[in-house]
Amino acid sequence: MLAGRIHATGKVSVDNISLPSVGPGDVLVKIQASGVCHSDVHIINGMLPPPKYPVTLGHEGAGVIERTGQEVTNVKVGDRVALYYMSPCGQCLYCTTGREHICDQLVSLGLELEGTWAEYLAMSAHSMVKIPEGIPYDQAAIAGCAVVTPFHAMNVGQVKPGDTVAVYGAGGVGIHGVQLAKLFGASKIISVDINARKLEAAKQVGATDLVNAKQEDPVEAIKSLTDGRGADVAFEFIGLKLTQEQLVKSVRKGGVAVMVGISGIKFEIDANDFLFKGAQLRTTQNHTRDHLARVLNLMSTGRIDISKSISQKYKLADTLKAVESLENQKESPLRIVLYP
């Protein structure tokens, strides 16, 4: 089968490899669509190196169950499934207290486990989430990261009806952050980006105010849009030192700043300013299977519409072109999907 694999930092190729073996608790999934995510770029450029090379990349996938191991009871051959990209141990302190997303033994697709940029994937049946009627495979695939990540973030930020929310980043994840902030009841949603096209896309899905950070200081802009106070809740979906520092300054007294983007570097907080504001800084990490099932249900009933989120489509054989497009930000992609 074809698989987009990383062999060393910066070295990705589409290889012909043998089909994966299926353990007693595993299923074999025929992948129908797989997302290309900024986390994949972080893995490729060495910021998040996999524990061993080579490994098949990709963690956003959906497909159809082709075979099941003899112990599998929760899904059957022919089921359409989205992949929960992690395989939690089920036994550690975190797994047994409803926090499987920070499991001590957590392994993830496209990092410790062979990923979704392939024609087939074998994985624990517990990581399969059935796709409700009416959701195409490509939307189900990107739901597993690009939509469920901001869904988890909205829960972490505890966005409430009537809140003013600031969202840094209007790319493939931030754009869904805007849409979910609306779903969670935010009355004012301030979208911040440096790309006018992405800001326009954010407006289409619910942003009430747009701030182009190339043209104005976003912290000042957010303050002036909130009577000088700052946002009730602010999110950073980019992963840059600059925007993380702006995030912290963007919340009002008692406000909540939520880090989502991965930067891999340190950033500075004016400790007194933040302390005297009585504000909170929270972080998100992954999501639970329940969150993914909820997101798919919201999509199936039309409460979340991500039909315009996929901006580029590539064949699996053209994986390198897809990666190049995301790395170079050609045509400022929202979400890129690979198809077999």
Which residues are at the interface with Zn ion (CB under 5 A)? 37, 39, 88-89, 92, 95, 103, 145
The residue among 174 and 230 lying less far from Zn ion, judged by its C-beta, is: 174
Classified as helix, coil or strand, 6 is strand
Least distance CB 1 / Zn ion (angstroms): 22
Least distance CB 68 / Zn ion (angstroms): 23
The residue among 92 and 240 lying less far from Zn ion, judged by its C-beta, is: 92
The residue among 89 and 107 lying less far from Zn ion, judged by its C-beta, is: 89
Least distance CB 171 / Zn ion (angstroms): 11
Inter-residue contact 85 to 142 (CB < 8 Å): no
> What tokens appear for 126 in the block?
């517990």
Inter-residue contact 37 to 145 (CB < 8 Å): yes
The residue among 6 and 213 lying less far from Zn ion, judged by its C-beta, is: 6
The residue among 27 and 145 lying less far from Zn ion, judged by its C-beta, is: 145
Least distance CB 35 / Zn ion (angstroms): 6
Cis status of the peptide bond prior to 49, with omega within 30 of 0: no
Inter-residue contact 149 to 173 (CB < 8 Å): yes
Cα 138 to Cα 1, 96, 112, 128, 207, distances in angstroms: 20, 32, 23, 16, 24
Least distance CB 94 / Zn ion (angstroms): 5
Q: Which residues is 126 bridged to in the sheet?
A: none
Q: CA gyration radius for the chain? A: 20
For CA atoms 107, 112, 116, 121, the dihedral sign is negative
Residue in 245, 22, 193 with CA at minimum distance from that of residue 120:
22
Least distance CB 277 / Zn ion (angstroms): 32
The residue among 164 and 286 lying less far from Zn ion, judged by its C-beta, is: 286
The residue among 237 and 248 lying less far from Zn ion, judged by its C-beta, is: 237
In the block, residue with structure tokens 């074998």: 122
In 242-295, where do the E strands start and end? 251-259, 280-283
Classified as helix, coil or strand, 300 is helix
Q: Which residues contact 299 (CB under 8 A, 6 or more apart)?
A: 132, 135, 139, 140, 143, 147, 305, 306
Least distance CB 89 / Zn ion (angstroms): 4
> What tokens appear for 121 in the block?
């994937």
The residue among 13 and 96 lying less far from Zn ion, judged by its C-beta, is: 96
Neighbour tally for 97: CB within 10 Å: 8
Least distance CB 196 / Zn ion (angstroms): 25
The residue among 30 and 42 lying less far from Zn ion, judged by its C-beta, is: 42
Please tell me the distance from the alpha carbon of residue 210 to that of residue 202, in angstroms, as a whole number.
Answer: 8
Please tell me the distance from the alpha carbon of residue 146 to that of residue 82, in angstroms, as a whole number.
Answer: 13
Least distance CB 289 / Zn ion (angstroms): 13
